[in-house]
Chain A
Amino acid sequence: MSEELKFHFVVDGDDFTSAGKASVQVKKNLRQLGLSPETIRRVSIAMYEGEINMVIHAGGGVADVTVTEEYIEILLSDKGPGIKDIEQAMQEGFSTASDNIRSLGFGAGMGLPNMKRYTDYMDIKSTVGVGTDITMRVNI
Chain B
Amino acid sequence: MTVEALTEYGFEPLCVPDPDREITGVYIGDLLSWVMGRAKSGDAWLTIMSNINIVAVASLADTSCIILAEGVTIESDVIKTADAKDINIFSFSGSCYDAAVLLSGLL
Contacts and interface: CB of A to CB of B under 8 A. Distances in A.
Interface in A1-35: 17, 19-20, 23-24, 27
Contact of A108 (B31, B60, B85): B31
A84 interface: no
A117 interface: yes
Tell me what chain B mostly uses at the interface: helix, strand, loop, or mixed.
Answer: helix
Contact of A48 (B36, B49, B62): B36
B56 interface: yes
A23 B37 contact: no
A71 to B, nearest CB: 19
B37 A114 contact: yes
B61 interface: yes
Interface string A34-59: 00011001001100110000000000
B51 interface: yes
Nearest to B81: A17
A76 to B, nearest CB: 16
A134 interface: no
Interface in A104-122: 104-106, 108-111, 113-114, 117
Interface of B: 30-34, 36-37, 41, 49, 51-54, 56-57, 59-62, 85
Q: What 3 pairs across the A-B complex have the smallest Cβ distances?
A: A110-B33, A20-B56, A108-B31
